[in-house]
């Protein structure tokens, strides 16, 4: 079951990404899509809370969603991205996942 607690400790995330690179596990991307329901401040707050992004980084991603219709908000092993997408749905955001292009690096 997905948790909505913020990610404050980067060590497990770094270990997962190193493991994925070492074993050539394909990376996936979590994408947040623009919608007419959620306010920009709310989307910024969700990105801060769930991913532990700074306010500036979360605002940058929110503006990308607002201006282009979508933003890649995280990348990594499939299972982690699936959990992120489920968590984003619990916040009421429109989110999907897609395979990352070859040679992409995890966020």
pLDDT for the residue 2:
47
pLDDT for the residue 15:
72
CATH class of the domain defined by 26-99: alpha beta
Q: DSSP letter string over 37-101?
A: SS-HHHHHHHHHHHH---HHHHHHHHHHHHHHSEEEEEEEEHHHHHHHHHHHHHTT-EEEEEEPP
Residue among 83, 94, 101 nearest 31 (CA): 94
pLDDT of 37-73, one tens digit each?
A: 999 999 999 999 999 999 999 999 999 999 999 999 9
Q: Please report which confidence band the pLDDT of residue 8 belongs to, taking 50, 70 and 90 as the band edges.
A: low
């Amino acid at each position: 079951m997905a948790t909505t607690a913020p990610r404050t400790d980067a060590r497990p995330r770094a270990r997962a990404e190193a493991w994925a690179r070492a074993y050539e596990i394909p990376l996936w991307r979590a994408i947040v899509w623009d919608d007419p329901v959620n306010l920009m401040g709310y989307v910024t707050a969700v990105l801060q809370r769930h991913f532990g992004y700074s306010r500036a980084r979360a605002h940058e991603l929110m503006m990308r969603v607002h201006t282009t219709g979508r933003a890649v908000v995280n990348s990594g092993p499939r299972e982690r991205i699936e959990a992120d997408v489920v968590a984003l749905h619990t916040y009421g955001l429109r989110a999907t996942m897609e395979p990352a292009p070859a040679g992409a690096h995890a966020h």
